[in-house]
Amino acid sequence: MDSYNIESSNADCLDSRPLKKPKCEQLNDCDLSPSPRSSTSLASSCNNIESSHVYDLDARPLKEVKCEQMNDVDISLSPPSATTLPSSSPEKDPYIIDSIVAEKVSCSDWIDLESDNDRRILLDDEKHQNHHEQFKVDQTYDYLPQDYEMTDLDYCALMTIESSLESDILVKIDDIFVTQSQLSCLLDPKKFLNDDVISAYICCIKYQAHLESRNDVKFYFENPFITVILKRDGKLGVGQDGNHITKIVRNYLKHEMVLIPINIKETHWYLAIINTQKCEIQVLDSLCWDSNRVDLADTLQGLQFHLDIIGRQQNLISHNWKDLQIISWTITEQVQEPMQKDGYKLAGILLCWKTNTAQTTHQNMSLLGSSNDQKETKATDSLLEETKYQSLMSILSKINENELVGGLCDYIKSINCPETLEKVWVRNSKPYSISLTVR
């Protein structure tokens, strides 16, 4: 079962990073310009969060009682401990590096390179889209990060995943719902990457591409479901039942690049790009398994069946495809060196994506948005205790010592619940026995 899981050290990952550049050059035939790298200045502060994260999980006995517990557990006790705990380095992460996700990340790299992370475009766009206005731009991902650096936003997202119930829907982007149990594959290298997770990420990519709205190259992002059906049709042929799929394939003809995620069952994902101008199938495979392209062949065969049907129909729409004999196109491998990476970053992206409308993240994000306004943190809704805790953690990672002390003072002053004030907030037995209440 685990044989698919080619593990590599982090050094390997780093080695493969420069790959992005060459990849960009290879794909330059679509007139893409590399975008500026996003800065992740918070990377260093993540260590603290990491350690406190572990601490937090150890301290919490049961998920089910988290809300009630968080009411009782004094919020102020744990976060300061984050600064005192020895910070564990991300390299020593207990999770091994997941090979499968790298594929998807490599897709994202590819897309990112073509995109320009100009936030102003996004902001302009937001004005026209009412349902996005409730998000604060700073606290969500409004672009796809190009590196794998974990930010505090990502760690908060991870904590949300860890602390949610399996059936909780944590990501809802467009029509795609992703539950906690499906997302957990990103945190567990032994699990297979879920197709809904892929779909959700493809929604992010689509959204980004839509914002860029390049006129020169028209992209079509297929979802994994259709790929599976195309693969089936490639194996079994197309009966009269395939009309709706033919309709979808017909829509491909309006585009110049069709991006198809392909799954090797219970093994690996890779991306095939149908470059209709070069009559080429370009494969982006993070593991470079160029000998295992059976699924691609089946998918292309299925696609060919549908193209044949379209070709036989009288009402063929005008299109720019050089020809419709896709099965005869050459297949080229775009990635020359394997890349590996875990799925943490993607988990963060999905939960914090700006169009994620799942309820949990709503609350999480709105609380994160109040990070500079301590008064808001004492939101009275007890259900929000969990996210309150997390938001406090993110604050801690951002501010320096003076601000932290000042902020904590403000926060404590802002508490006016008598019960909370009477409670013992800090207790320590070494070197002296100390217990402090807020009062």
Partner 1 sequence: MSPPPEQDRRLGVVKPEPEPMIKLKVLDNEGRRVFHTMRMSDKLQAVMDAYYAKAPDVTYGSGTFMFDGSIRLRGSETPAEHGLQDDDVIDSYEDL
Among 42, 70, 105, 226, binds partner 1 (CB under 8 A): 226
Q: Please name the residue that has the structure tokens 């994260």.
A: 53
Could you tell me the CA-to-CA distances from 56 to 186, 263, 377, 401 in Å, in that order? 20, 36, 19, 21
Q: Which two tokens stand for residue 185?
A: 């594959």
Backbone angles phi, psi at 276, to 5 degrees: -75, -15
Quick note: the x/- pattern for partner 1 over 52-81, rule CB under 8 A, is ------------------------------
Four-point Cα dihedral 190, 196, 199, 201, nearest 10 = -60
82 binds partner 1 (CB under 8 A): no
102 binds partner 1 (CB under 8 A): no
- Contacts of residue 2, defined as CB under 8 A and 6 or more positions apart, other chains included, come to 190
- Report in angstroms how near the CB of residue 226 gets to partner 1 at its nearest: 5
Which stretch, 10-18, 74-82, 213-221, 235-243, contacts partner 1 (CB under 8 A)? 235-243
How many Å apart are CA 205 and CA 428, to the nearest integer?
49
Q: Which two tokens stand for residue 343?
A: 């799925």
Helices and strands of the chain, counted as H and E runs:
19, 9
> Residue 335 in contact with residue 106, Cβ under 8 Å?
yes
244 binds partner 1 (CB under 8 A): yes
Bridging pattern class, strands 280-284 and 330-333: parallel
- Report in angstroms how near the CB of residue 198 gets to partner 1 at its nearest: 8
276 binds partner 1 (CB under 8 A): no
Which stretch, 43-51, 90-98, 245-253, 387-395, contacts partner 1 (CB under 8 A)? 245-253
- Report in angstroms how near the CB of residue 240 gets to partner 1 at its nearest: 9
- Report in angstroms how near the CB of residue 388 gets to partner 1 at its nearest: 33
- Report in angstroms how near the CB of residue 107 gets to partner 1 at its nearest: 15
The identity of residue 258, as a single letter, is V
If 0-12 CB within 10 Å is exposed, 13-18 middle and 19+ buried, where does residue 40 land? Answer: middle
Whichever of 94 and 239 has its CB closer to partner 1, that residue is 239
Which stretch, 40-48, 135-143, 244-252, 366-374, contacts partner 1 (CB under 8 A)? 244-252
3-state secondary structure of 341: coil
Among 79, 189, 224, 234, binds partner 1 (CB under 8 A): 224
Among 47, 263, 299, 391, binds partner 1 (CB under 8 A): 263
309 binds partner 1 (CB under 8 A): no
Whichever of 20 and 231 has its CB closer to partner 1, that residue is 231
Pick from 219, 224, 215, 314: nearest CA to 276: 219
- Report in angstroms how near the CB of residue 177 gets to partner 1 at its nearest: 8
Does an H or E element contain 435, and which?
A: strand 434-437
> Residue 81 in contact with residue 55, Cβ under 8 Å?
yes
Whichever of 27 and 228 has its CB closer to partner 1, that residue is 228
Whichever of 66 and 104 has its CB closer to partner 1, that residue is 104
**Range 240-246 contact pairs with CB under 8 angstroms and sequence separation of 24 or more:** 242/305, 242/306, 242/309, 245/306, 246/306, 246/309, 246/310
Among 91, 133, 175, 419, binds partner 1 (CB under 8 A): 175
How many Å apart are CA 34 and CA 20, to the nearest integer?
10
- Give 401's Cβ-side CA count (13 Å radius): 2
- Report in angstroms how near the CB of residue 195 gets to partner 1 at its nearest: 4
> Residue 251 in contact with residue 287, Cβ under 8 Å?
no
- Report in angstroms how near the CB of residue 236 gets to partner 1 at its nearest: 5
How many Å apart are CA 94 and CA 208, to the nearest integer?
32
279 binds partner 1 (CB under 8 A): no
Whichever of 253 and 367 has its CB closer to partner 1, that residue is 253
Please tell me the count of residues contacting partner 1 according to CB under 8 A: 24
Q: Which two tokens stand for residue 78?
A: 């744990």
294 binds partner 1 (CB under 8 A): no
- Report in angstroms how near the CB of residue 233 gets to partner 1 at its nearest: 10
167 binds partner 1 (CB under 8 A): no
- Report in angstroms how near the CB of residue 352 gets to partner 1 at its nearest: 23
> Residue 89 in contact with residue 271, Cβ under 8 Å?
no
439 binds partner 1 (CB under 8 A): no
Quick note: the x/- pattern for partner 1 over 177-206, rule CB under 8 A, is x--------------xxxx--x--------
The identity of residue 127, as a single letter, is K
99 binds partner 1 (CB under 8 A): no
* Cβ atoms within 10 Å of 275's Cβ, excluding its own: 20
Which stretch, 6-14, 50-58, 229-237, 304-312, contacts partner 1 (CB under 8 A)? 229-237
Q: Can you give the binding site for partner 1, defined by CB under 8 A?
A: 175, 177, 192-195, 198, 223-226, 228-229, 231-232, 236, 241, 243-245, 247-248, 263, 265
